Structure 1
Amino acid sequence: MSADGFAKCPPPGARADWTIDQGWEAYTAAEHAVWITLYERQSAMLPGRACEPFLRGLEALDLHRSGIPDFARINAELNRLTGWSVVAVPGLVPDEVFFDHLANRRFPAGQFIRKPDELDYLQEPDIFHDVFGHVPMLTDPVFADYMQAYGRGGQRAMQMGRLHNLARLYWYTVEFGLLQTPQGLRIYGAGIVSSRSESIFALDDPSPNRLGFDLERVMRTPYRIDDFQQVYFVIPSLQALLDATLQDFAPIYRRLARASDIGIERIEPGDLVITAGTQAYAHSGAAAQ
């Protein structure tokens, strides 16, 4: 959960690395109830939709117990499994702070939770999106290594002026990625698994394109932050995703500097087309509402 364009100094009460105490004891019964409502709704629909590493991580961390999870409790198991931990932050953090945390196997998570009337849509990621959506995948050793590699890559992308290309990789994998399995497409992206409506749309709706993952193709594709996606990229395995990132990105960035972006809805001649979407949702006007 990174962002730029705001003050680079941590807000009052935050440490130099922008972390804060979670303050688990201060959550109200109403806030715990929101977590339980969201958890029960999502966990009931995800079997058969979410990938097995996510479902295993959800079970391993026991995120349902007594409402909003205490980071101290889940970090003990998360650290044992993959060496990662969750740290609380006051909201979106500067890019360099975000990448430093990932590179050191720390996942920065907001510690506030949405209001009861915001169950289906929230502009800024809250603790449900960050912890329910992201953290179960961090129990998988391969994905955990990918996230650390991404953090290190982010530090280099900033130096080379290609952060917008790397941000697309995060968006189309960590947030909105799909995985090909023998049983069919499965969700692993946090933006999908934490959203009831997008969990359905991403797999079932005929509107979006679903294309095979190609690193440079992803980096040339803009994304939308305000509605359902017009394209999802499908990885063949978590190991393939990790392998694609364990290379020198400098030659890729040089090629991208000479290449134009590809329209979100377009299908290119070299694409591996899993589903050629109708784009009906995007063109209907519903996306603008």
Structure 2
Amino acid sequence: MAEAELSRPAGTAEDWTVPQDWAAYSPAEHAMWDRLFARQAAMLPDRVVPEFIAGLDMLRMDKPGIPDFEALSERLMKATGWQVVAVPGLVPDRVFFEHLANRRFVAGRFIRRPDQLDYLEEPDVFHDVFGHVPLLSHPVFADYMQAYGEGGLRADGLGAIDRLARLYWYTVEFGLIRQDSGLKLYGAGIVSSFGESKFALDDASPNRIGFGLERLMRTQYRIDDYQQSYFVIDSFDDLLRQTIETDFAPLYRRLEGQPDLEPETVLPEDHVYTLGTQAYARAKAPGCPLPSEELPHDDRT
């Protein structure tokens, strides 16, 4: 998600884009992509939504090395009319929304260092491209992302970006989906993380709660660690339908009169797939240690 109050770096275009400069990547940087790709590709097939794997295949992202955005965009444009554009890092909210509304996905061009293998604060090219781009080849999800960008432009005028950011966070970044074979991953923040790809489905700690637009937009989220709650959609079609059929202006007004919910909160009316123990979060809270055998492996440290 974007950040507000940023200054445009020198050398960027008015829309904050920059050349990817693919030829400038070093062999070590390409090798880091290949290492990350191989690790995720080996563990995701039984966990991620099939549409994600189909996107990887269709976009030929198994080709060694960091993808060339120009070639990637050519294939993506033929599928859904989207393209990938490089930016120097985080961009202001309105710039972010304008790109999405015009079917342009902004991606950082740098790749993490070896000491950042399992966690880094600012999204890199692996998170942005491996995590996000495959599902942009799926027509319904591609439409949802455009609708979100258009909604973001409206939210900006209503002073409601913080509320709408929660929708992006709990769907595009950290969403789960219910399928006949069980819960599957689709959020980019999960599928690009080796640790969270396991934690989000397997660990007893987090809640897994049925998607509700208003419920989700009341819920705060963690930006520095695994999520305490994940929201489960029924389908991409339903997610798109709720997004385009909802009048968000009265929803924002309604939310103003309601208290925020902590990330771990479970309400009596929630559809709960899994009631989490919150053991992972409690183990990391000051003054609340758990026995070592109860601590899950943390790939973010």
TM-score bracket for the superposition, by shorter chain length: over 0.9
Query: Which 4+ stretches in 1 moved above 2 angstroms?
Result: 286-289
Q: How far has the Cα of 1:117 moved from its partner?
A: 1.8
Query: Using the alignment, how far apart are the partners of 2:25 and 2:262 within structure 1?
Result: 43
What residue in structure 2 maps to residue 268 of structure 1? Answer: 267
Are 1:109 and 2:107 matched, yes or no? yes
Query: Using the alignment, how far apart are the partners of 2:119 and 2:224 within structure 1?
Result: 10
What residue in structure 1 maps to residue 6 of structure 2? Answer: 6
Q: How far has the Cα of 1:269 moved from its partner?
A: 1.2
Query: Using the alignment, how far apart are the partners of 1:249 and 1:53 within structure 2?
Result: 28
**For 2:262, what is the secondary structure of its paired residue?**
coil
Query: Using the alignment, how far apart are the partners of 2:80 and 2:6 within structure 1?
Result: 32
- Greater displacement, 91-100 / 247-256: 247-256
1:182 to 165, 170, 180: 180
Match for 1:256: what amino acid? Answer: L
What residue in structure 1 maps to residue 151 of structure 2? Answer: 153
**For 2:277, what is the secondary structure of its paired residue?**
coil
Q: How far has the Cα of 1:54 moved from its partner?
A: 0.6
Measured against aligned partners, the alpha-carbon deviations of 1:139-196 in whole angstroms (never above 9, x if no partner) come to: 0000000000000000111111111110000000000000000000000000000000
What residue in structure 2 maps to residue 282 of structure 1? Answer: 281
**For 2:231, what is the secondary structure of its paired residue?**
strand
Q: CA RMSD in A?
A: 1.2
Query: Using the alignment, how far apart are the partners of 1:259 and 1:285 within structure 2?
Result: 29
What residue in structure 2 maps to residue 59 of structure 1? Answer: 57
Match for 1:82: what amino acid? Answer: T
Match for 1:257: what amino acid? Answer: E
Query: Using the alignment, how far apart are the partners of 1:261 and 1:109 within structure 2?
Result: 31
Query: Using the alignment, how far apart are the partners of 1:263 and 1:35 within structure 2?
Result: 35
Are 1:87 and 2:59 matched, yes or no? no
**For 1:284, what is the secondary structure of its paired residue?**
helix
What residue in structure 2 maps to residue 36 of structure 1? Answer: 34
Q: How far has the Cα of 1:64 moved from its partner?
A: 2.5
Query: Using the alignment, how far apart are the partners of 2:148 and 2:189 within structure 1?
Result: 17
Query: Using the alignment, how far apart are the partners of 2:93 and 2:146 within structure 1?
Result: 14
- Greater displacement, 113-122 / 37-46: 113-122
Measured against aligned partners, the alpha-carbon deviations of 1:258-277 in whole angstroms (never above 9, x if no partner) come to: 11111211110110000000
Q: Which stretches in structure 2 are left out of the alignment for 5+ residues?
A: 286-297
Query: Using the alignment, how far apart are the partners of 2:214 and 2:200 within structure 1?
Result: 22
Query: Using the alignment, how far apart are the partners of 2:64 and 2:155 within structure 1?
Result: 41
Query: Using the alignment, how far apart are the partners of 1:6 and 1:105 within structure 2?
Result: 22
Match for 2:156: what amino acid? Answer: M
What residue in structure 2 maps to residue 257 of structure 1? Answer: 256
Match for 1:253: what amino acid? Answer: Y
Measured against aligned partners, the alpha-carbon deviations of 1:195-232 in whole angstroms (never above 9, x if no partner) come to: 00000000000000000000000000000100000000
Query: Using the alignment, how far apart are the partners of 2:161 and 2:216 within structure 1?
Result: 13
Q: How far has the Cα of 1:66 moved from its partner?
A: 2.7
Paired residues in the alignment total: 287
TM-score, structure 2 length as denominator?
0.93
Match for 1:36: what amino acid? Answer: D
Query: Counterparts in 2 of 1:229-268, with a 5 A limit?
Result: 229-246=227-244, 247-268=246-267
Query: Using the alignment, how far apart are the partners of 1:231 and 1:241 within structure 2?
Result: 18
Measured against aligned partners, the alpha-carbon deviations of 1:94-134 in whole angstroms (never above 9, x if no partner) come to: 00000000000000000000112211011100000000000
Match for 2:229: what amino acid? Answer: V
Query: Using the alignment, how far apart are the partners of 1:30 and 1:132 within structure 2?
Result: 18
Query: Using the alignment, how far apart are the partners of 2:155 and 2:45 within structure 1?
Result: 36
